[in-house]
Each structure stands twice: as structure tokens, then as C-alpha cells.
């Protein structure tokens, strides 16, 4: 029972693509296009499943793709669009010519999330952490809020780049403690 596999896994190669496989796939698509991914590996003489071929083509082999670093303006676009659309990577990638959803997703997860956190901005809500802490302080009971602020402070105190954030959290924490003591 269960889900029908997209292909016979026993007869299918997995893992990194070789230049030879890339050539086979590229030249087949150049001649026949990308209709029916299920048949493409068979007809192109590849021991891969159609899904793997489609991914390789859309994320790496397509001739219109950019392969270099993301520019500052591309990064700004991603951050802006992410604040509106969230993790709708294909929607975001559609606004960046030559970039794929996988590219954008990887770049967000490895670079931009950290960059925003380092600037004291929550990468999920795109609000400053201090603002979120203030919101928490008004929502939770004082002892819980103080406990949470202390935990958050502990998470960030060793990060050089988050000194400002740490200072802000520290102030929030102090305010909560005062409130708690009243």
C-alpha cells in the first residue's frame, strides 16, 4: 500500500550529476523540449527519474540561469518580497530573472536570515526583536515574560554581531524585572 513511487527506485541513479549526464539531458531538451518529464530520462538514455531530471534542468542547466553571487539589490528584493509573501519561494524567484526558487530558498536560509537577525530583525515577522519583546511583555504574565526575555538574552549574548540586540533585550529584561518586583 502507500504512495505510488514516481519511478522504479531500483533502476534509478541518485546523487550528484556527472557532466556526461548533464550533456545528455541538455542536448535531449534542446532537441525535444521539456514535455513529459517521465519519458525524458528514458529517451535521453539516463538512469534517472523524471523528477530528478526536471530539478536538474530547472535549477542548474537552464541556459537563462544566473550562477553567481546575489547582488545587494537582489537581496533587498528578496527581503521585501519575503516580508509580504513569506516562504513563497517560487513567487519571489519569479521577480528575480535567472534565479530559481531553490536558489532563493538556499540564499535566504544560509545568509539572509542570519543577516536580518544580526540587524536585530526577526526574519519571520520582519519586525525588530525589541518590538516583539515589547509585544510579549504586554501579552504574557510578568514572570513568564521575564523568564522568556532572560532565555532570549542568553541565546544572543555571545554573538558579536548582535551586541545592539543584546543591549535592547537587556533593557527590556530590566524593565520586566522592575515590573515583576512591583
Partner DNA sequence: AAGCTCTTCAACCGCAATCAC
Partner DNA sequence: TGTGATTGCGGTTGAAGAGCT
Among 102, 117, 170, 180, binds DNA (CB under 7 A): 102
Pinpoint the alpha helices (H) of the chain: 19-32, 40-44, 50-56, 72-85, 89-93, 101-107, 113-118, 129-139, 142-156, 163-181
Instruction: Print the SS3 string covering 45-60.
Output: CCCCCHHHHHHHHHHH
Q: Which residues contact 43 (CB under 8 A, 6 or more apart)?
A: 28, 32
> CB 167 → DNA: shortest distance, Å?
22
Cα gap 80→161, rounded to integer Å: 22
88 near DNA, rule: CB under 7 A = yes
Q: Based on CB atoms, which residue is closest to DNA, 10 or 141? A: 10
Among 62, 66, 111, 126, binds DNA (CB under 7 A): 111
160 near DNA, rule: CB under 7 A = no
CB atoms closer than 10 angstroms to residue 150: 14
Alpha carbon dihedral 64, 68, 73, 78, in 10-degree steps, equals 80
Q: Based on CB atoms, which residue is closest to DNA, 85 or 135? A: 85
Which residue shows C-alpha cell 519569479? 94
14 near DNA, rule: CB under 7 A = yes
Which window, 107-115, 125-133, 149-157, 173-181, contacts DNA (CB under 7 A)?
Answer: 107-115
147 near DNA, rule: CB under 7 A = no
99 near DNA, rule: CB under 7 A = no
55 near DNA, rule: CB under 7 A = yes
Among 56, 82, 99, 168, binds DNA (CB under 7 A): 56
Q: What is the chain's length?
A: 182
Interface residues toward DNA, by CB under 7 A: 3-4, 6, 9, 14-17, 35-38, 50-52, 54-56, 59-60, 87-91, 101-103, 105-107, 109-111, 114
Amino acid at each position: 500500500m502507500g504512495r505510488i513511487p514516481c519511478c522504479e527506485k531500483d533502476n534509478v541513479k541518485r546523487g550528484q550529476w556527472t557532466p556526461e549526464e548533464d550533456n545528455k539531458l541538455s542536448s535531449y531538451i534542446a532537441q525535444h523540449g521539456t514535455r513529459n518529464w517521465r519519458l525524458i530520462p528514458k529517451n535521453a538514455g539516463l538512469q534517472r527519474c523524471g523528477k530528478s531530471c526536471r530539478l536538474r534542468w530547472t535549477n542548474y542547466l537552464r541556459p537563462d540561469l544566473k550562477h553567481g553571487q546575489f547582488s545587494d539589490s537582489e537581496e533587498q528584493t528578496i527581503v521585501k518580497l519575503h516580508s509580504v509573501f513569506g516562504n513563497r519561494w517560487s513567487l519571489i524567484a519569479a521577480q528575480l530573472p535567472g534565479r530559481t526558487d531553490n536558489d532563493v530558498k538556499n540564499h535566504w536560509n544560509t545568509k539572509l536570515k542570519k543577516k536580518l537577525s544580526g540587524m536585530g530583525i526577526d526574519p519571520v515577522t520582519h519586525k525588530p526583536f525589541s518590538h516583539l519583546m515589547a509585544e510579549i511583555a504586554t501579552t504574557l504574565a510578568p514572570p513568564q515574560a521575564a523568564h522568556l526575555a532572560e532565555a532570549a538574552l542568553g541565546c544572543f549574548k555571545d554573538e558579536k554581531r548582535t551586541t545592539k540586540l543584546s543591549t535592547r533585550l537587556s533593557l527590556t529584561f530590566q524593565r520586566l524585572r522592575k515590573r515583576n518586583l512591583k
